[in-house]
Chains A and B, each alone.
Chain A
Amino acid sequence: MAKGIKDKVAILGMGCARFGERWDADADNLMVEAYQEALTDAGIETSQIDAAWLAVAFDAVNVGPSGIPLATALRLNGVGVTKVENYCASGTDAFRGAVYAVASGAADIALALGCEKLKDTGYGGLPVRSRGTMFDMVGVVGSAPGSFAQLAAAYRAQHGVSKEDLKHAMAHVSVKSHANGVKNPRAHLRKAIDIETVINAPMIAEPLGLFDCCGVSDGAACAIVTTPEIARSLGKSDIVSVKAVQMSTSNGWELQGSGWNGSYFHTTRIAAAHAYQEAGITNPREQLSLMEVHDCFSITELVTMEDLGVSKEGEGWRDVLDGFFDADGTIPCQIDGGLKCFGHPIGASGLRMIYENYLQLLGRAGDRQRKDPPVFALSHNLGGMPNQNVSAISIVGMLGA
């Protein structure tokens, strides 16, 4: 494997819009909201940005095609803007673009911004759209919960877990995120719920009930990155650096080959192995301090714990029930409420996760601040469906840690 980018890139500033049903805001407003915070945090001028990446997943109603909407909304100064679309991994992919630009020396300061304006689509849940000519002829046009719900059936079969035990573990995932979301003023959903509410909720896609599914939100998040040297020269002392950014994209093996049993994410396992190697992590269960994972559905978070090597295979559900991932547990997961409650404006989500880890590392997370100082904070995005997806992982920590 290549040498990687550990500690070559520093996060200069980050920002995040308030997520939710932002009837008051267009995509442009949300982008500017996140950008202003990031710019102030970075302490730079727009003219200092050398390159930018925009992450937006849905085009139907949104900013429209190309990088132009970002350049226009932020009045970027003639720089190149690349638009990234990689399903729910778009935000982390935009971050990857900016980070790689800096790491390569092609840019001194680069910007990544993710945005999604879902509440103008008119849908509850994600809009239906074409996935290309061939898929439309032979694929299943199901819903996002339907795609991910299949993990549960396969997980039960693979590990001999009863429907009831798995449903309880899934419910614990959601209850935890709701409890965490209460403490986050920018979260979409800020109401605590109990196990019974989750278990008795209307069924969306068996076995996922209403509270097993994340919110569909409007929002934007932004990162401005540079080299550690430039960060220092700009007066930064506590520097959060990028330890790893890795992605893995399905090549069709899960769906067309044989051997995959449907109960896990093949790509996440690959991306995690690469990310740990890049960051120098040998035992994620011991070394990770915080995780923001792609909890689009409760079952996704649960199996992801195994894919990230934090839980043993087939035992993630036990760790969940043991409170291992609770806010006061060994490795808090979704301490900000996660996709479940912070919300899931697709293009923004990856950057929102990094934003939370960044705040936690700097001790700026307010009521939800983790007590022990975090060392390695991981974020994980999944784009697509379990059988065909993009998995993106970023690990951040204090420079030199």
Chain B
Amino acid sequence: MTGILAYGAYVPRLRLQRSVVAAAHAWFNPALKGLGKGERAMANWDEDVITMAVEASRDCLTGLDRAVIESVSLASTSAPNADRQNAGIVKEALNLADTTGSFDLSGGQRAGTSSLIQALAAGPRQVTLCVASERRKSKAGSEAELNNGDAAAALLVGSGDVVARFMGSHSVSVDFVDHFRAANKEFDYTWESRWIRDEGYAKIISGAVKQALDKFQLNPAEIDHLIVPITLRGVADGIAKKVGIRPEAVCGTLAGTVGEAGAAHASLMLVAALEVAKPGERILVTGFGQGCDIIILEVTEAIAKLPPRKATSGWLARRQPETNYLKYLSFNGLLDMDKGMRGEADFKQPLTALYRNRKTVLGLVGGRCTKTGTVQFPKTDISVNPNDPTIGTQEDYPLADRAARILTYTADNLTYSPDPPAYYGMIEFEEGGRMMAEFTDADPESVEVGRNVDLVFRIKSVDDLRGFTKYFWKAVPVKQL
């Protein structure tokens, strides 16, 4: 049986309050006030499509053997690299075997659903981790700034003990240009919203849904969860009505909490649906963008056996309201702030060294001495054990998923950080090993010696001169309740 084996999501902790954005622009565009309700997920300065994809993947792979993964796909229209495979970095961060295939999908908002269809079609032959992640850049003062959100979702597709069986897919391709972004441009250019709603969503999505239901001889009443990843109010309900799907089957669009996460949004909503769906229920997923993708799934009994994970609801519950609009602008490169002299320091990446140490740097793989059991980071030729510095006895020892706690810390106002103060300190892994770590998603209440931390994959720094992004792992202090 082919279908979805596991699911996971990631939503950044910061939630930009739309009211402060609308208020900031009221002098220029008072009409934005109408979009000023709720909040949108906002990536931290050290998050991008790749880091969010990694976290969604880790969530998806909770309790699963990563060795089964044969391929990783990353769907996005906002990936940081135009010519350095983004999915390949996700693969390294997940510490997957080098024999794993990897590919990026882009080109429009349907990238997420199209990659899922490809994987589902290949399902009997291959286990694919389908990740979709989006951090869309929008012009200050635009509607997109309020409507968009940053998030990622991951779905493990293959055959076997699936939690949702693949019933079929249907695709429609039409060059309907509701918005576009040329290859060398930063921002989308958008056409009139009423035209998009009536000629685009209503006609193209509804038509595709009808065709798909006919194709698989399904009665609209047999659909229990309808996923329309369009956050514009009323669109999903209108489509359900038009095709005869029950109103209660329409899934919430996460408009008020996440915003629209572009090519990742359908997957994010699918994860939310899988969190609540019961065995036997059917999910119809739509993906819109120069046409429409339809995926129909049926939830199985196996869904109850999946180990607990954060998924969409878990990440949504972990939130930090952000009321500083200038911080949002700065984190998104829309405000040319003075970094100070410390921000100018040039740390060019020797690519040879990154390649040699990719497991250490991207995978957070340390070493464990097979003779003494000493765990250390990074792995070295000679063990750090002072009583037994054996040579060449270390085996790979992945650290990213191990429990750790804070041993020392500071909050540094002097060093350059896009989000001062910079929290960092030494962390110690419960089962051995330690490292100096930058802390992220940290605040004064969460940082103290002895507190637990989770390790997360984040941007270490961006070399603005050459456009190279450096990634490494950081510690997130776990708030004590």
Instruction: Show the binding face of A for B, using Cβ within 8 Å.
Output: 122-123, 125, 128-130, 133-134, 136-143, 145-147, 149-154, 156-157, 202-206, 208, 251-253, 255-258, 261-262, 386-387
- B449 and A205: CB pair below 8 A? no
- Tell me, in angstroms, the Cα distance from A63 to B428 when the chains sit together: 40
Query: Once the chains bind, are B341 and A150 in contact (CB under 8 Å)?
Result: no
Please report the C-alpha to C-alpha distance between residue A379 and residue B376 in the assembled complex, in whole angstroms: 34
A150-B425, A157-B449 known; A206 and B407 CB under 8 Å? no
Number of interface residues of B (CB under 8 A): 50
Q: Specify which of B361, B386, B415, B436 is in contact with A137 (CB 8 Å cutoff).
A: B361
User: Which one of B361, B407, B422 contacts A142 once the chains associate, using CB atoms below 8 Å?
Assistant: B422
Q: Which of A122, A136, A137, A153 contacts B408 (CB 8 A)?
A: A153
Q: Are B361 and A138 in contact (CB under 8 A)?
A: yes
CB closest residue in chain B, given A130: B347
A-B contact pairs, 17 of them (CB 8 A): A125-B414, A128-B415, A137-B353, A138-B472, A140-B436, A146-B410, A146-B422, A149-B410, A150-B426, A203-B411, A203-B421, A206-B410, A208-B410, A256-B384, A256-B435, A257-B434, A258-B374
Shortest CB-to-CB span from B443 to chain A, Å, is: 12
Q: Is the CB of B374 within 8 A of A257?
A: yes
- A141/B345 in contact, CB under 8 A: yes
Q: Decide: B424 and A140 in contact? CB cutoff 8 A.
A: yes
Distance, CA A312 to CA B26, complexed state (A): 63
Chain B, Cβ-Cβ closest to A255: B436
Q: Tell me which residues across on chain B come within 8 A of A139, comparing CB atoms.
A: 436
A-chain residues with CB within 8 Å of residue B374 when the two chains form the complex: 257-258
A157/B450 contact (C-beta < 8 A), A138-B360, A140-B424 known: yes
A150 touches B438 (CB 8 A): no
* A122 CB contacts on chain B under 8 angstroms: 341
**Alpha-carbon separation in the docked complex, A387 to B408 (Å):** 10
Chain B stretch 310-353: residues in CB contact (< 8 A) with chain A: 341-342, 345, 347, 349-350, 353
Tell me if B412 and A149 are in contact (CB < 8 A).
yes
Q: Are A143 and B411 in contact (CB under 8 A)?
A: no
Contact B416 A128 (CB under 8 A): yes
Asked if A257 contacts B426 (CB within 8 A), the reply is: no
Contacts beyond the supplied A203-B411, A205-B413, A257-B434: 9 A-B pairs with Cβ under 8 Å:
A122-B341, A128-B345, A137-B357, A142-B415, A145-B410, A151-B408, A156-B449, A256-B435, A257-B385
Query: Nearest 9 pairs between A and B by C-beta?
Result: A146-B412, A150-B408, A157-B449, A149-B410, A262-B408, A128-B345, A143-B414, A206-B411, A143-B415
Q: Does A258 contact B412, Cβ atoms closer than 8 Å?
A: no
Question: B377 on the interface (CB 8 Å rule)?
Answer: yes
Residue contact A153 to B421, C-beta cutoff 8 Å: no
Contact yes or no, A137 B470, CB < 8 A: yes
Interchain CB contact under 8 A, B353 and A133: yes
Give chain A residues whose Cβ lies under 8 Å from the Cβ of B450.
157
Contact partner, B350, options A133, A141, A208, A258, Cβ 8 Å: A133
Nearest residue in A to B386 (C-beta to C-beta)? Answer: A253
Counting CB contacts under 8 A, is B303 at the interface? no
Tell whether, in the assembled complex, residue B434 and residue A258 are in contact, meaning their CB atoms are under 8 Å apart.
yes
C-alpha spacing A202/B414, complex, angstroms: 11
State whether the Cβ of B409 lies closer than 8 Å to any Cβ in chain A: yes
Interchain nearest-CB distance for B91 vs A (Å): 18
* Nearest CB in chain B to that of A202: its residue: B413
| B416 partner residues in chain A, CB cutoff 8 A | 128
CB proximity of A310 to chain B, nearest CB, Å: 23
Report if B354 contacts A (CB, 8 A).
yes
Can you list, as one digit per residue, whether each of B429-452 has a CB less than 8 Å from chain A (1) or not (0)?
000111111100000000011100
Of the candidates A152, A205, A262, the one whose C-beta lies within 8 Å of that of B412 is A205
Partner of A387, one of B350, B426, B433: B426
Smallest CB separation, A54 vs chain B (Å): 26
Interface pair A153/B345, CB less than 8 Å apart: no
Question: CA–CA, A258 to B460, complex, Å?
Answer: 25
Closest CB in chain A relative to B298 CB, distance in Å: 46
Contacts of A252 in B (CB 8 A): 380, 384
Interface centre among A138, A140, A152 (most CB of B within 10 A): A140
The yes or no answer to B378 lying at the interface (CB within 8 A) is yes
Q: Are B386 and A134 in contact (CB under 8 A)?
A: no
